[in-house]
Structure 1
Amino acid sequence: MNRHFSRWAFLPLFLLLALLTLPSLDADAQIIRKKGKTSQAEQPPVKEEAKKQETKKNTQPGKEKGQEKAKVLAPAKLPDAWAKVFPFRPLGPANMGGRITAISVFEKDPSTFWIATASGGLLKTNNNGITFEHQFDKSATVSIGDVCVAPSDKNVVWIGTGEANPRNSVSYGDGIYKSTDGGASWKNMGLKGAFQFGKILIHPTNPNIVYAGAMGRLYGASNERGVFKTTDGGATWNKVHFVNDRTGVIDMAMHPTEADTLLVATWEHMRDQFDSWPGEVKKPEGIDGYDPIVRWGPGSGIWKTINGGANWKKLTNGLPSGNVGRIGLDWYRKNPNIVFAIIDAENFGKGLPPITTYLGAAAKDQANGLAKIFQVSPNSPAAKAGIQPGDVVTAVGDKPVKEFKEVVEAIRNKKAGDKISLQVNRNGQTKTMEVNLSDRPERKGQGKGGAGTKGGGGGGFTKGGGRAPSDAYMGVFGEDASNGAKITRVTDEGPGEKAGLLNDDVITEIDGKKISSYQEFIDILQPKKPDDKMKLAIQRGKETKVVTVSLEARPGGANRIRPNAVDLGGQNMNIQDSQGGNGHEFGGVYRSDDAGESWVRINSINPRPMYFSVVRVDPSDDKKIYVLGVSQHGSSDGGASFNSSFGRQVHADGHAMWISPTDGRHMIIGTDGGAYQTYDTGANWDHFNTSAIGQFYHVDISPKLPYMVAGGLQDNGSWSGPGISLQGGAINEDWISVAGGDGYTCRFDPNDADLIFFTSQNGNMGRRNLKTGQISSIRAQRKPGQPSFRYNWNTPYFLSKHNSKIFYCGSQFVMRSLNHGDDLRPISPDLTLTKRGSMSALAESPRNPDVLWAGTDDGALWVTTNGGKDWTNVTKNLGLKNPLWIATIEASRFAEGRAYVAIDAHRSDDDNPYIFITEDFGKTFKPLRNNLPVGSTRCLREDQKNENLLYCGTEFSFFLSLDRGGQWTKMILPTVAVHEVAQHPVIGDIVLATHGRSLWALDVTALRQVKGETFVGQPVLFKPAASIRWRPQPNRGGTNRKFVAANPARGAPLFYYLPKEAAKVELKVFDIEGDVIRTLPANKEAGLHPITWDTMRNSAPGQGGGARQGGRPMGGGGFGLGGFTPGRPVSPGQYRVVLFVEGVEFSQLIQVEADPTAPPSILAEEIFTDWDTLRLQKFPD
């Protein structure tokens, strides 16, 4: 009989078999598998080979005499050694990077440098960025304020832990560390109470002399601040400079040729317990909603020593006379008398209002009442008229002047092309200059006033360091739409809300003129004035409406107080010629030509000072100056003018920068999106995007297989990508952007795998269809008379586990929608304790949809058992001395009254972990900290299969408890903050969202079966998860410059435990007929042993095959074959794994499933091939 004919004759049968072996799918695309234990009668038989070895049969699980007693005494803590058996696999991604805080280059060999991160540790390269290695992964903390390599020895490297940027999500450190082997190992050298470090300096020739600039505690007073010095390599420290217990050191600069001369910038500042400033409580004037509550103080300033810290002098000549804030420093190497500073002043943004005409000369009022020109911008009207630095202005036309503001006011109402006559005194001679005024130069990279981009500052100040905001205010946020400008948010009580504008309205025309983008809308708005009216044609669903908006002046008179301010608490650039004759009082960039003894303000620029304040000068050209910010700014005329074309190709928010001392074209910059390198002064940048240092806040897992993950990142939006890839591990290009802004919680709709929900800062929620790309905004529309909704910076929300159309979120109220977020309405009273408070945690009982929990950032905890009709305040039942930030609430899947509460207290100057359990709807709580070490609690989650298995993420680690919080085991993961734990609804994977090392996955199938009695008594073979025979696609290849995530090991992970060493151990796999199809290597030592059966058979007799018989050790990797395998793959179906320990048999069933993505025809072909192989083995020709 023709063999091929016989195969295809059975095609219908094999197609049916192929379909039957596919994992069955329910409406949610979830794989449904048989649950519960399989009886012995259902298990495949074991043939004579097994019976011959059998002296005593014991099916799993079994009991020995006395085991009941052992069960009572058994420890419940997972042994630390067992934690090593469960390695997490990194999922990445690496394309969006994370916040960089410092860069240190060994300048004798600039191919070696270190990059410090805010929360992801330290990266080192020895080959100019081709590859990086993670260093500092096992230290107590991985938040780094500064890194510094000794100029004389690249093996000596110092790290100051604790980021210095005092934003709301900043972490903290535990002192200063030293390495003497280039970063391979580290030793803590003390100063553990410094918490944050601003700068480290090392003597150029003696690496034992080190200066450490300590910031101190951000959320409270502390004395371990100031400048510390060691002369013995860190064995001892001497505090050589201290101001007060609220003032730390943010920056230091060492004289290029005199190592005992230092400049030190001190900063008095402090954060409070809130991350932002929502609601009706008025912010202190001048404070941005994300600023530290104390931003300026008398302790701030610039100090100088010329004898290594023995004596200090505060520098004041030419600097602001009022309180100042953050300061950045840089010394010019070519001429050490020149030094630059960028200074935040409490009077930032003040001075004369902006003007549209341009003079191009800046002056400082003198004590004798005259205005002396100190700066003339190249090619400006003033320069073309012959005005020079040093000229004293005495008259405008025939009108005498005594202050420079009189010059500014004289040209305020002029327009481009008008002429003005200035009389100046130059070296005792009077000269008259005719100036032909022009329009102010275009300032690129500039936000516009009165409206904001999505997630930006709509209705507030403008963004970055560009031109001043418009006088008019509409109070809307928006983005581009296909037919105009889509409104994504309407500001409460703003002109837009009063006119009836709603979220998701699309503006198609303004005053009869069609617009095609949001940019056109804000360009039209820019020149408008208060009380102007704008007639808007809007599309609202299928309806077209005309709305007239009456513009208003900016809220709170911000422009009147600070007319030169820009968004996020910064000051406009290039306005030093129009701010007035006392412009040095308002902050900006300053220059000294006498090593700091006196200063002149050269530019007004200062973008978001508390977050940036970085100024750098080209070491070989003092005309080239750079200021980092949201955009990156460069000047080629010594600071007279800046533009933001520099750094246009890099991520926003620059924090660190190095410029080569031998070639100013070569730079490295660190941003919120990672680090970049250029060799052409920023014309082109190379992104170092091969290290997964993403700062995730949250993660969710899609129900389908192979599964996707999604989460939000700090300043990098929300993204989705593969948790499992069929092409050898996911790469950066596999990830898709879901939404922008600061990304937070993402949720997949369990009933629609293409529908994903997201949120960015301050309650900007939405949903997106990944198939069509359609985005819809989700935000409650405030009704007249209602208070403004106060959304947390990281707003909690979820889809109901009982009906995914029901959407809950929190403001000061619990809000509910019955239709995917549309028509949100409050279902609770105000649950906060203060008028600044907002909801930070929200949960629903998986057992009862009427049981809801809510927690707030000001420490309130509430529960309802009737769907929101009545709420009970259970805050006091926690037994805390003070209200603390509620981080997460986990309503139990196993008991209706049970819930877990995790509290993050670090904003209240308390770094201890706080975890509680209630069994009675909050009437009583029990603390579960037990053996958890110090480190703020970020999240606590209950396993979905085992009610005693808990997961806890802290500021530094991930912990697991087998006994419902009685004892905790630290799992093996790089030191990092774990903000969330997601569980796949069907398979055994959990995924961690880390804030600094992206996402990590672990299969917890075996862990779910570990109990206290496991550690004593007889051996245990854990029931394996079903194994999917994924059909690998061709690998994409690559080079060293590519990040590739780790896939699960191909095959079926198996785990067995031996309480003591055994004389003989065997591990075999049997098919349904009882034949041994695979013999796996077995370890005889005591302990937990992992092995992966690659779902292959043993090779047939006489078939050849390789030397290797058995499985692979556990571990991540691609879906490659992992080496030569002698046999054929097994067919989908049920198999039996048997562990033989000294004649005793322990067995478990395992299901091998077909690739759910493979077409049935391919599955049928695989079954044909496997059938042929079996037939030839059993019935050879």
Structure 2
Amino acid sequence: SDPNVVYVGMGEHAIRGVMTSHGDGVYRSTDAGRTWMHLGLDRTRSISRIRVHPDDPDVVYVAAQGAPYGANEERGIYRSTDGGETWDLILHVDENSGASDLAMDMTNPRILYASFWDHRRLPWRVVSGGEGSGFWKSTDGGDSWQEINAGLPELMGKTAIDVSRANPDRLFAMVEADPGGGLFRSDDAGDSWTLVSESWTIRARAWYYIEVYADPVDEETVYVMNAPFMKSVDGGRTFSSVAVPHGDQHDLWINPLDNEVMVNANDGGANVSFNGGDTWSTQQNQPTAQFYRVNLDDRFPYHVYGGQQDNSSVAIASRGPGGIGWKDWYSVGGCESARPDFDDDDPRFVYAGCYMGIISEYDHVTNSTRDIAAYPVMPAALQAREMKYRYNWSAPILVSDFDSDVIYHASNYVVRSQDRGMTWEEISPDLTRDDDSKQGYGGGPITNEGAGGEIYGTIYGFDESPHDPNVLWTGSDDGLVHVTRDGGGTWTDVTGEWGEAIVNAVHVSPHDPATVYIAVTRYKFNDFTPLAYVTRNWGESWQAIADGIDDEAWVHVVREDPVQPGLLYAATETGVYVSFDSGEDWQSLQLNLPNTPINDLMVHERENDLVVATSGRSFWILDELQPLRQAAEVADGEHHLYAPGHVYRWAGSGGFGGGGGGQNPPPGAVIDFVLGAGFGADTAASPEVTVEILTAAGDLVRTMSTDPDDEVSPGASPLSVERGANRVVWNLRHESIPNIPGAYVFGSLQGRRVVPGDYQVRLTVDEWSMTQPFEVRMDPRLDVPLSAYIEQDRFVADVANELAAIHRAASVNNDVRGQIESAMERIGEHDDTESLVAEGEDLAGELETVADSLYQSRTVDGQTVINFPTRLKFQYVFLHGNADADQPGVSMGSRDVLSDLRARWTVHQATNQELLGPRLDAFNRMLGDAGFSVVIVPPRPPRPIS
């Protein structure tokens, strides 16, 4: 009805117990997704389907599946006739049964079909099935409904429904039931049903799938989404699998005008097909990974690790040449639920887990893995009480910071290996509540769920003290916290008063061995209160520290900054928070981070970065935490310059973005500063703001300004600043080389790279200034001495100075020649000036010959470079860029070229000086004697390159 109107229903409807986020209702866009408006229905939590009237975009129906973890009166079918301004609940079954699907007869949009699902998620079980499951039909646009369950099983679980556009009397319904479940078909618009396929392939793991789609053109073709993408061309009687880029299919859209065009959504992303599913587009252009946890090593550049939902473990560099692309990541053992750990300094061996206790060792050198489980069994579909070890879906793995041969793996017990997993020993009793009533089958009453996500009574949070290898802390998913101070010999229960809950993370303060932070969640008990606690006395008492965190932003992790005591970061269900006072108060640190759950975060101490693992938007990095660490130094309303962190002269092509995916860190030194409350108050006369880079000795290297001087900073753009926080990135280069006005440059005139060492930055605002030191470091991957950088610097400086002199000479030449030509036009109007005109023309011609030797004026772009012979300028620019390499050192060839170019420049320079000196003086005397104005040589000398 209007392709610019788009409705979005929030909240995942495939309610996984290990990573599912609820939503906040419905959003609408009237400009094809550019902007959005929230339309309410906040407490529906999970919306499974939206249908829009084909003739009126203001008439919209919403299928609200409801809260996964508790009773929810807001479940059912909603209707709006005013574009979402108001809503009516037009079909409600009960507080436990939500609308799992909704179909509309597009030949008669007053006819609607709804499927309902009686379900509940518990931390230890998925309940799927009950009296509320079934199908409903309306023939009056939702004003009234009747059940259409004739011929269907008495006890049903999850359900789905669709109506054929090719034949609106034909319906397809997926039904979870046993016996008698599968695909049902009705050929009389729902009056009766026939079971056409009870294949387990299309109904296995029903709570996670159960999706059916009728082909809009062919009434015999129907698709069912499960782990495979299933297609039937005989009305649902038989199915074949369609190859798709990834497993676990959850949604399908088929173009109603061309059934060869379809979009498939699965656990790996989205794919488009233009040939009915024969081939599909890539998923490698969608940074939508869901990561359970994050870990960081200390390589250069450091790598980021995590387990990606329904994919694999992942390791990826924090920066790369030209950006970070999908080819830059690789797997390091384990599987999707991995919590990889390793020796931070030498991560040759990576230990990564998988569900049901799988753990492997990955060897970076051999690119091989080996299973090292303490008790290698696969307890799929068993009751938890039957298992020797109860492992969480994402069980903790920890390599000791004190001895990288020591590995911990936590189930309901803590086991330890001291020989890279060849042998293990239990070093704890059961550290959970060990409630037998919560250790049965993972699913029911119809379908069991035994993939490991419902195993309960497990250790979920685990940490080794950075102060003492004998101190270990555990937190269980049923709410207990334990500590040992003798390497596992004895354990003490130090549980606080938060009740049965998930202790999602335990973090020992890097500054105080008695201080420990824990993040506690109760969302699986339908309680979304943010809970975080700290003990400062080894667990004898706990203090709640969640003030300032939004309601329902339950806390996944709290970590303390390794440099600044009391500076805390919290990963929550809705974003990142920061506290500057040990958790007394929190404020959002969202910035440009997408609105997505943050499952984990870590600080990279060496690089001053905060790295987060999101659920749906991959890894994100906040570069340079220095302003947060120095926040206490800023006086209210005053200007302030933060001390920058160190920066590397990176040996690589650099680039801020690219690669089709991740962005590199800012390309240079990050300079953060605050402009106080009074800045810009007088909008007509804001003071100039300058940022100057100086050597440790105080020599000026670079100037950046809101009002740049072209003589000081050729071609510089003005700084853009505002009252409050500002960030400038210095690219580790000297000032640019001034160009010949109007001349094309093939290459770059950017200033040369600086030598690694100590520098200063000075911020000046009007008469106020502040200076801070920082360091430019060598790329640690390069085995070169500092002297190589110094040698390169002097060579490139020589090239730059000579190039600047050439530009200045050509500029003056052009200026003088232009004056002579103007004089000739004036002289030509008078008699008896033939000798003067002849001398002027000769002088101008000879100047033009010199200028033509210095640069090619006919070159205007990269194509014309190959049309017209290059001149001296071109070769100097090329040599400058070639010698100013990211890897230091000066080749013999470069020295030879400079020697040859210098010889040529010396000749042209002498000729130019002769013409602009004695020859021009003589010509000016002739002009003066004849009563004409003389030609003036621009007085400014060439600016030396520092």
Please tell me the TM-score bracket, short chain as reference: 0.7 to 0.9
Q: Secondary structure at the match of 1:823?
A: coil
The residue correspondences of 1:376-415 to structure 2 (distance < 5 A) are none
The residue correspondences of 1:750-761 to structure 2 (distance < 5 A) are 750-761=344-355
Tell me the CA shift for residue 765 of structure 1.
1.4
Shift in alpha-carbon separation, 1:304–1:1033, aligned structure 2, 3 A: same
Tell me the CA shift for residue 820 of structure 1.
2.9
Cα deviation code 1:275-313 (max 9, x no counterpart): xxxxxxxxxxxxxxxx61x21101110111111222222
Query: Aligned equivalents of 1:1085 and 1:622: distance in 2?
Result: 62
Tell me the CA shift for residue 1018 of structure 1.
5.2
Shift in alpha-carbon separation, 1:1008–1:823, aligned structure 2, 3 A: farther
Question: What corresponds to 1:1133 in structure 2?
Answer: 757
Cα deviation code 1:870-921 (max 9, x no counterpart): 211122xx222x3111110110111111000101111011111101111001
Query: Aligned equivalents of 1:1008 and 1:234: distance in 2?
Result: 41
Question: What corresponds to 1:498 in structure 2?
Answer: none
Kindly indicate whether the alpha-carbon contact (under 8 Å) linking 1:782 and 1:788 is maintained by their aligned counterparts in 2.
no
Shift in alpha-carbon separation, 1:337–1:1124, aligned structure 2, 3 A: same
- For 2:256, which of 639, 657, 661 is the aligned residue? 661
Corresponding position: 1:950 with 2:561: no
Query: Aligned equivalents of 1:982 and 1:225: distance in 2?
Result: 38
Corresponding position: 1:1096 with 2:733: yes
Shift in alpha-carbon separation, 1:933–1:923, aligned structure 2, 3 A: same
Corresponding position: 1:638 with 2:235: yes
Question: What corresponds to 2:209 in structure 1?
Answer: 612
> Which protein has the larger Cα radius of gyration, Structure 1 or Structure 2?
2
Question: What corresponds to 1:441 in structure 2?
Answer: none
Cα deviation code 1:966-1017 (max 9, x no counterpart): 2222121110111111222411122111010001111234234323341337
Question: What corresponds to 1:163 in structure 2?
Answer: 12
Corresponding position: 1:804 with 2:398: no
Shift in alpha-carbon separation, 1:1175–1:211, aligned structure 2, 3 A: closer
Corresponding position: 1:315 with 2:164: no
Cα deviation code 1:300-330 (max 9, x no counterpart): 101111112222221122211x210111111
User: Which range is displaced more, 252-261 or 908-917?
Assistant: 252-261
Kindly indicate whether the alpha-carbon contact (under 8 Å) linking 2:600 and 2:614 is maintained by their aligned counterparts in 1.
yes
Corresponding position: 1:1150 with 2:774: yes
Question: What corresponds to 2:70 in structure 1?
Answer: 220
Question: What corresponds to 2:423 in structure 1?
Answer: 823
Query: Aligned equivalents of 1:743 and 1:664: distance in 2?
Result: 37
Query: Aligned equivalents of 1:227 and 1:1018: distance in 2?
Result: 55
Question: What corresponds to 1:258 in structure 2?
Answer: 108
Tell me the CA shift for residue 739 of structure 1.
3.3
Kindly indicate whether the alpha-carbon contact (under 8 Å) linking 2:296 and 2:344 is maintained by their aligned counterparts in 1.
no
Query: Aligned equivalents of 2:618 and 2:394: distance in 1?
Result: 18
Q: Secondary structure at the match of 2:475?
A: strand
Tell me the CA shift for residue 1069 of structure 1.
1.9
Tell me the CA shift for residue 1104 of structure 1.
4.0
Kindly indicate whether the alpha-carbon contact (under 8 Å) linking 2:122 and 2:524 is maintained by their aligned counterparts in 1.
yes
Kindly indicate whether the alpha-carbon contact (under 8 Å) linking 1:619 and 1:661 is maintained by their aligned counterparts in 2.
yes
- For 2:472, which of 842, 852, 856 is the aligned residue? 852
The residue correspondences of 1:1112-1131 to structure 2 (distance < 5 A) are 1126-1131=750-755
Tell me the CA shift for residue 667 of structure 1.
1.9
Kindly indicate whether the alpha-carbon contact (under 8 Å) linking 1:874 and 1:922 is maintained by their aligned counterparts in 2.
yes
- The one-letter code matched in structure 1 to 2:518 is V
Kindly indicate whether the alpha-carbon contact (under 8 Å) linking 2:739 and 2:749 is maintained by their aligned counterparts in 1.
no
Query: Aligned equivalents of 2:426 and 2:394: distance in 1?
Result: 18
Corresponding position: 1:236 with 2:86: yes
Query: Aligned equivalents of 1:896 and 1:696: distance in 2?
Result: 29
Tell me the CA shift for residue 1080 of structure 1.
2.2
Cα deviation code 1:81-106 (max 9, x no counterpart): xxxxxxxxxxxxxxxxxxxxxxxxxx
Corresponding position: 1:1078 with 2:702: yes
Corresponding position: 1:179 with 2:32: no
Kindly indicate whether the alpha-carbon contact (under 8 Å) linking 1:696 and 1:744 is maintained by their aligned counterparts in 2.
no
The residue correspondences of 1:898-1047 to structure 2 (distance < 5 A) are 898-934=515-551, 935-971=553-589, 972=591, 973-1016=593-636, 1019-1033=639-653, 1043-1047=660-664
Query: Aligned equivalents of 2:122 and 2:790: distance in 1?
Result: 65
Cα deviation code 1:594-617 (max 9, x no counterpart): 001011111112232111111222
Q: Secondary structure at the match of 1:200?
A: strand
Tell me the CA shift for residue 696 of structure 1.
0.8
Shift in alpha-carbon separation, 1:1171–1:1105, aligned structure 2, 3 A: farther
- The one-letter code matched in structure 1 to 2:204 is P
The residue correspondences of 1:344-363 to structure 2 (distance < 5 A) are 344-345=176-177, 347-348=178-179
Query: Aligned equivalents of 1:764 and 1:267: distance in 2?
Result: 33
Question: What corresponds to 1:300 in structure 2?
Answer: 133
Tell me the CA shift for residue 237 of structure 1.
1.9
Shift in alpha-carbon separation, 1:159–1:1106, aligned structure 2, 3 A: farther
Query: Aligned equivalents of 2:189 and 2:565: distance in 1?
Result: 66
Cα deviation code 1:1096-1131 (max 9, x no counterpart): 11257xx54899xxxxxxxxxxxxx9x966422111
Query: Aligned equivalents of 1:825 and 1:1134: distance in 2?
Result: 50
Instruction: Provide the TM-score with structure 1 as the length reference.
Output: 0.61
Kindly indicate whether the alpha-carbon contact (under 8 Å) linking 1:634 and 1:642 is maintained by their aligned counterparts in 2.
yes
Question: What corresponds to 1:704 in structure 2?
Answer: 299
Q: Secondary structure at the match of 2:160?
A: strand
Query: Aligned equivalents of 1:772 and 1:233: distance in 2?
Result: 59
Kindly indicate whether the alpha-carbon contact (under 8 Å) linking 1:942 and 1:951 is maintained by their aligned counterparts in 2.
yes
Bigger share in helix = 2
Question: What corresponds to 1:652 in structure 2?
Answer: 247
Cα deviation code 1:1121-1167 (max 9, x no counterpart): 9x966422111122222234554553222221222234539x86653
Among all aligned residue pairs of Structure 1 and Structure 2, give the percentage whose two residues are the same amino acid: 33
Q: Secondary structure at the match of 2:571?
A: strand
The residue correspondences of 1:1064-1075 to structure 2 (distance < 5 A) are 1065-1075=689-699
Cα deviation code 1:142-177 (max 9, x no counterpart): xxxxxxxxxx01122212211111221211011222
- The one-letter code matched in structure 2 to 1:167 is R
Instruction: Provide the TM-score with structure 2 as the length reference.
Output: 0.75
Kindly indicate whether the alpha-carbon contact (under 8 Å) linking 2:627 and 2:672 is maintained by their aligned counterparts in 1.
no
Q: Unaligned regions of 5+ residues in structure 2, if any? A: 378-384, 440-456, 680-686, 707-718, 806-905, 907-946
Question: What corresponds to 2:172 in structure 1?
Answer: 340
- The one-letter code matched in structure 2 to 1:889 is V
Query: Aligned equivalents of 1:212 and 1:888: distance in 2?
Result: 36
- For 2:309, which of 702, 707, 714 is the aligned residue? 714
Answer 1 or 2: higher relative contact order, Cα 8 Å, separation at least 6: 1
Q: Secondary structure at the match of 1:1172?
A: helix
Query: Aligned equivalents of 2:237 and 2:489: distance in 1?
Result: 63
Kindly indicate whether the alpha-carbon contact (under 8 Å) linking 2:299 and 2:345 is maintained by their aligned counterparts in 1.
no
Cα deviation code 1:711-761 (max 9, x no counterpart): 111101111122110x21011111112236423312232242332221122
Shift in alpha-carbon separation, 1:1072–1:943, aligned structure 2, 3 A: closer
Question: What corresponds to 1:863 in structure 2?
Answer: 483
Tell me the CA shift for residue 709 of structure 1.
1.5
Shift in alpha-carbon separation, 1:1090–1:791, aligned structure 2, 3 A: same
Query: Aligned equivalents of 1:772 and 1:1020: distance in 2?
Result: 51
- The one-letter code matched in structure 2 to 1:1095 is L
Tell me the CA shift for residue 1036 of structure 1.
13
Aligned length: 747
Question: What corresponds to 2:930 in structure 1?
Answer: none
Cα deviation code 1:833-860 (max 9, x no counterpart): 1244011110111112222111111111
Q: Secondary structure at the match of 1:317?
A: coil
- The one-letter code matched in structure 2 to 1:223 is E
Tell me the CA shift for residue 1172 of structure 1.
2.7
Cα deviation code 1:1040-1065 (max 9, x no counterpart): xx623211121111122333446454
- The one-letter code matched in structure 1 to 2:258 is D
Kindly indicate whether the alpha-carbon contact (under 8 Å) linking 2:306 and 2:315 is maintained by their aligned counterparts in 1.
yes
- The one-letter code matched in structure 2 to 1:968 is W
Q: Secondary structure at the match of 2:278?
A: coil
CA RMSD of aligned residues (A): 2.7
